[in-house]
Amino acid sequence: MGIKGSALVTGASRGLGAHIARRLAADGWPVAVNYHAEAAGAKRVAAGIVAAGGRAVALHGDVTDEFDVRRLVATTAERLGPVQVVVANATGPQPVSPAELVSWQDHLDQLEFFVKSPTLLLQATLAGMRELGGGRFIHIGSDSLRRAFPGTSAYNAAKGAQLALARTWAREFGRHGITVNVVSPGWIPVERHGEVDAPEYVADVALRRMGTPEEVADVVAFVASDASRFITGEQLTVNGGHHG
Ligand SMILES: NC(=O)c1ccc[n+]([C@@H]2O[C@H](COP(=O)([O-])OP(=O)(O)OC[C@H]3O[C@@H](n4cnc5c(N)ncnc54)[C@H](OP(=O)(O)O)[C@@H]3O)[C@@H](O)[C@H]2O)c1
C-alpha cells in the first residue's frame, strides 16, 4: 500500500491512542492526534512527534458527533493529506455495573463510541481511501469481550458489535483495497489506571507480566503497514497469552 496519505488516531491525547500516534509517526505516517477534552495532552503528543522529526497535528473533535467527525477528517486531509489509516481508539468512561442495574442509556453510551463513532469515521473516510486505491480501518477492540468479565456487559456488548462491524466491513470494502481489522488489547495499564499491582491477573497471563501500550502500538503499526496487506476481517489479540 505504501504511505500515500495520513493516519487519524482518535482519542490520542493520552492512553493507548497517544502511543499509537507516536508509533505510526515513527513509521513515517503524518498523524492527526485527535482529542476531545484534553487539548494540552494532544498538543504535547503532536509536539513530541514533530520534535522527533515526524509530522503531526493535534485536532479537536467529538468522535461521536457527525459534524465533528466530518470536520476532523476534512481538516486532517487539508493539513496532512487524505486519511489512509483510521485508528478508532477513543473511549468514554467504562463503568462497571451488574447487569440488573444496566440501563438502556448505559448501553447507548458505549454504542456511541464503538458503533456510532466508527460508522461516522468510515463514512467520512471511505471516498478518500477509494481514491488512494486502498486504506486501513483499525478498530481498537478489547479482550474483555472474550474474557466476559462480570459487570462489563454494556462495554462488552458494544465491543462485540464493533467486531461484527469490522468483519462485515472487511467483506464490503475489500474490493477497494480497504482492510478492516480489530486490535484487541488485554488489560494494559495507562494513566487512568494509576499504579497497578495485580498479581492475580499476572498469574493468569502466559508471559507472567502486564502488557505495555507500546506493545499494542507495535501491533497497530503492523496492521497499518503493507506487511498486513492480506489480513482483513480479523481480530489480533494483544494479551500476553491471557487465555486461561
Ligand atoms: N487500556 C486498556 O487496558 C484497554 C484494554 C482493552 C481495550 N482498550 C481499548 O483501547 C482504547 C483506548 O483505551 P485507553 O485505555 O487508552 O483509554 P483512555 O486512556 O481513557 O483514553 C481515552 C481517549 O479517548 C478520548 N476521548 C474521550 N471521549 C472522546 C470523544 N467524544 N471524542 C474524541 N476523543 C474522546 C480521550 O481524550 P480527551 O480526554 O481529550 O477527551 C482520551 O484521549 C479504547 O477503545 C478501549 O476500549 C483499552
Per-residue pLDDT of 130-181, as tens digits, reads 999 999 999 999 999 999 999 999 999 999 999 999 999 999 999 999 999 9
**What amino acid positions are annotated as catalytic residues?**
155
Residue to probe by mutation, ligand 1, list 59, 91, 110, most atoms within 8 Å of CB = 91
Per-residue pLDDT at 129:
98
User: How far is residue 172's CA from residue 130's CA, in Å, rounded to a whole number?
Assistant: 13
Cα(121) to centroid of ligand 1, in Å? 16
| pLDDT reading at 243 higher than 90 | no
For residue 139, report the distance from its CA to the centre of ligand 1, in Å: 12
Strands 6-9 and 83-88: parallel
Q: Is the pLDDT of residue 193 over 80?
A: yes
Work out the average pLDDT over 26-46.
98
Mean pLDDT of the chain: 97
- Residue 97 is placed in which grid cell? 455495573
Ligand 1 pocket by Cβ (under 6 Å): 10-17, 34-38, 62-64, 89-92, 140, 142, 144, 185, 187-188, 190-192
Say yes or no to pLDDT of 244 above 80: no
Query: Nearest C-alpha to atom 36 of ligand 1 is from which residue?
Result: 11
Half-sphere exposure of 79 (CA within 13 A, CB side): 18
Using one digit for the tens of pLDDT, what is the confidence trace for 12-24?
A: 999 999 999 999 9
Tell me the whole-structure pTM to 2 decimals.
0.98
- Say yes or no: domain 6-238 is CATH 3.30.390.50: no
Question: If you average pLDDT over residues 109-117, what whole number do you get?
Answer: 98
d(CA 238, CA 215): 8
The pLDDT value given to residue 80: 98
Q: Where are the domains of the chain?
A: 6-238
Binning the chain into helix, strand and coil, the percentages to the nearest 5 are 50, 15, 35
Q: Which residues does 175 contact at the CB level (< 8 Å), separation at least 6?
A: none
Query: pLDDT confidence of 92, banded at 50, 70, 90?
Result: very high
- What pLDDT score was predicted for residue 90? 98
Read off the C-alpha cell for 213: 501500550
Residue 186 buriedness (CB in 10 A; 0-12 / 13-18 / 19+): buried
- Percentage of residues in the chain having pLDDT higher than 90: 99
